[in-house]
Amino acid sequence: MAYAITRTCCNDASCVSVCPVNCIHPTPGEPDFGSTDMLYIDPAACIDCGACADACPVDAIFPVDRLAGPDLPYAELNRRWYEENPTDHAWGEPEFPRSLPDGFGELSVAVVGTGPSAGYTAQLLLRTTGARVTMIDRLPVAGGLLRHGVAPDHQSTKRIGESFATTFHHPALRMHLGVTIGEDLTHEDLTAYHHAVVYAVGAAGDRRLGLPGEDLPGSLPATTLVGWYNAHPAVPADAVDLRAERVVVVGNGNVAVDIARILLTDPDELARTDIADHALAALRDSRVREVVLLARRGPEHAAWTRPEFLALTHLAGVDVVVADDPGIREAVAAATARAGAASVSASASDLRETAHAASEPGPDTEATAGAGSGSATGSKAALLAGLPVEPVDWAAAPPAGRRRIVLRFGVTPTELLGDARIEGLRVAGPDGRESTIAAGLVVRSIGYRGVPVQGLPFDDATGTIPHDGGRVVDPATGRPVPATYVVGWAKRGPSGGIGANRDCAQETVHALLDDAGAGLLATPAHRIQDFAGLVRLRRPNALGLRQWRALDRAERARGEAVGRPRVKLATVPELLASARRFRR
């Protein structure tokens, strides 16, 4: 019996390297890698060895005959991908671990950030070069996107953090938390103690709509709401007001879907996760009954990934409907016809109904700002074929009864309305006609955005650090900035899930090693052993690995006491106090 990859796939590709028959695609290096919703196993070629399931860091791979509930459609989704993307499973050129040139000595590298891209970078450096790695983060707790971006009900996705935790225990790694580059330390400080610096600073900012009323209370960026339910220490506990019955989320990517799901999930279900305590309490008292996902383009251009959307339709006690705007029925019908009636039936409504009957929902895919490919199993608009298309009275309160998510396509926000706080949103259709949606909370989820790092070049148009294959480049001269590299969302923009950072990190580390071999990495002016003293001088409250491990143990112990994976500490004073109190 073949294996199948399911909804929690993180595109890490750990499974690819262990498959003895090369039947998992797309692989790193293939054109579709990083753009498909997930990876796929060819059931005709799979030899049922189970090596992929053992290697998967997020437990996304199971024998086909064991699939049930929301995972049931994935046997067919894996099979159909190979119908649409025939492959002979030919092996590519072998790749061998990189290493430092003979006589180089001990390499020292600073990695700014502790999220997934930083974790993969540190892993590669420690495993292949024997480097001494210093990880630095502006927050007093490690994890980056994995801690503060992944939705709390995606506990399977968070298991990838276990491999990073192993890296954090490596004897050649040091960590300094609560240290900001550009304030406490400069880029020049880092290069004075390290051969190279890799920036894995992510995309902490958000894109604005640029509309009147955007700064009214009740208008929030997705970064605030996601940080709020994930206990980000920079987001106050009272940052989100859930007294409104209707919430409008501008955008329909995976982050928007995450927000809709968290706002409407039964709080008793969330109480088994690591959601922030203040968010759980607010959700128990929430008046929200309807979340509208607003998209400027039609359903064929939906930005969510297929696994994320299918999981959304399994949300207990929540209906998912499509707003009956002009042209929507025709767009869905056209997509259905293009995909083929039989294919659509299997990939959308029939599979959805089968999964509904088999099981209650479970955790699904990770949050990501990137749009998945629409190729496997046809157009994403075809997935709407089994959903009701209903007229909505946007001026009235949401209908009584069951909670619901409304998908509205083909409208563009033009103004946020209200006096003291948000009362609604004005939108324009393709014909220019305007209408108003009554809402008490508007969340813009139109993409994360990188923020400048003092001392480094920055491309304001893309919100990224300019680079060439991971080497930071000075746009004025076109030349690489010596010994300076970038990885992750700061490098490629906010696209791709957690696993995509692995391939991204490999490119950057290879560039660093090429430069080391070419003699382009100068010997640091100071010993790496003395760097910790500089940190203590500049930032006395900084936390190290011992304190981080103590903090991690404390949160896990708090969670174990109440049957949860962990209970997060949500403020900087709490994090600092806990790290020091439990230090041992």
CATH number for the domain including 123? 3.40.50.720
pLDDT at position 425 is 96
pLDDT at position 340 is 55
Look up the domain containing 491 and give its range.
Answer: 108-204+450-542
User: In total, how many domains does the chain have?
Assistant: 3
Whether 558 maps to a domain, the answer reads no
Residues 268 and 354 in one domain: yes
Whether 101 maps to a domain, the answer reads no
Residues 287 and 420 in one domain: yes
Q: Whose CA is closest to 253, among 222, 227, 278?
A: 222
Rounded to whole angstroms, how far apart are CA atoms 161 and 163?
5
Rounded to whole angstroms, how far apart are CA atoms 84 and 74?
15
Cβ-proximal residues to 473 (8 Å cutoff; 6+ apart), any chain: 457, 466, 467, 479, 480, 481
Q: Are 51 and 45 in contact (CB under 8 A)?
A: no
- What three-state secondary structure class fits 251? coil
Residues 149 and 283 in one domain: no
pLDDT at position 398 is 93
Q: Edge to edge, what strands does the sheet with 424-428 contain?
A: 412-417, 424-428, 434-438
Phi, psi of 361 (to 5 degrees): -70, 155
Residues 385 and 261 in one domain: yes
CATH code of the domain containing 376: 3.50.50.60
Residue type, 547: Q
Count CB-CB contacts under 10 A for residue 43: 18
Residues 340 and 369 in one domain: yes
Whether 114 maps to a domain, the answer reads yes
pLDDT at position 227 is 96
Rounded to whole angstroms, how far apart are CA atoms 22 and 396?
55
Whether 26 maps to a domain, the answer reads yes
Residues 491 and 441 in one domain: no
Structure tokens at 77: 């989704």
H or E segment to which residue 473 belongs: strand 471-474
CATH code of the domain containing 71: 3.30.70.20
pLDDT at position 338 is 66
Last residue of a domain, one of 84, 116, 135: 84
Residues written for the chain: 584
Query: First vs last Cα of the chain: how many Å apart?
Result: 49
Residues 389 and 464 in one domain: no
Rounded to whole angstroms, how far apart are CA atoms 563 and 559?
6
Residues 403 and 481 in one domain: no
Residue type, 344: V
Residues 538 and 510 in one domain: yes
Structure tokens at 511: 């560039």
- Residues 470-496: b if buried by 16+ CB within 10 A, e if exposed: bbbbeeeeeebbebbbbbbbbbbbbbb
Residues 362 and 380 in one domain: yes
Residues 159 and 270 in one domain: no
pLDDT at position 363 is 29
Whether 66 maps to a domain, the answer reads yes
Cβ-proximal residues to 48 (8 Å cutoff; 6+ apart), any chain: 1, 2, 3, 63
Whether 361 maps to a domain, the answer reads yes
Residues 429 and 476 in one domain: no
Whether 166 maps to a domain, the answer reads yes
pLDDT tens digit at each of 584 positions of the chain:
799 999 889 888 899 989 999 999 999 888 888 778 899 999 999 999 999 999 999 899 999 999 988 889 899 999 999 998 998 898 887 777 777 777 788 899 999 999 999 999 999 999 888 899 999 999 999 999 999 999 999 988 888 888 888 888 899 999 999 999 999 999 999 999 999 999 999 998 999 999 999 999 999 999 999 999 999 999 999 999 999 999 999 999 999 999 999 999 999 999 999 999 999 999 999 999 999 999 999 888 888 888 888 888 888 999 999 999 888 888 877 766 765 543 434 444 443 433 333 333 332 333 333 333 334 444 677 778 878 999 999 999 998 888 999 999 999 999 999 999 999 999 999 888 899 999 999 999 998 999 999 999 999 999 999 999 999 999 999 999 999 999 999 999 988 778 889 999 999 999 999 999 999 999 999 999 999 999 999 999 999 999 999 999 999 999 999 999 999 999 999 999 888 875 44
